[in-house]
Amino acid sequence: MSTITIYHNPKCGTSRNTLAMIRASGEEPEVIEYLKSPPGRAKLVELIAATGLSVREVLRKKGTPYEELGLDDPKWTDDELIDFMVEHPILMNRPIVVTPLGTVLSRPSEKVLDVLPNADKVGTFTKEDGEVVGKSGQSA
């Protein structure tokens, strides 16, 4: 079993780039298409905590029911926002990557390099949009 897990949306370029970087490091991660297999409330709470981000920082706005649900309203508690993410998994920003070195919301995709055990194997990487990045996470 892989020691790396990616919560992936194959329709998302950032998610595809992140997955390609993981594979370029020599790892074959466990790929969880979270729209087909949502993580569930307890796992979602665990993932958000592990990223060190706030619940609001993990909420995805673009291409989701965020606006129609009025989720920018400060009245919503973290628990309520998590309930919305469980009900509408598309609200979970992606990709979230779990490795032995940590958990990141890999946006931009090169953030995954910070937690990949063999990130040095990636070298420079060309994203789908042509941007080239290196281990430092800076554009090369």
pTM of the model: 0.92
Q: Which of 5, 8, 9, 12 is catalytic?
A: 12
pLDDT value at residue 137: 44
The number of distinct structural domains making up the chain is 1
12: annotated active-site residue = yes
Residue 23: inside a domain, yes or no? yes
CATH number of the CATH domain containing 23: 3.40.30.10
Structural domain includes residue 139? no
> What was the pLDDT predicted at 135?
57
**Contacting residues for 131 by C-beta, under 8 A, at least 6 apart:** 139
Residue 91 lies in a domain: yes
- Positions in the chain whose pLDDT score sits under 50: 136-140
Flag whether 126 is in a domain. yes
Q: Is 34 within a domain?
A: yes
- The range of the structural domain enclosing residue 46 comes to 5-133
What pLDDT, on a 0 to 100 scale, did the predictor assign at position 139?
Answer: 44
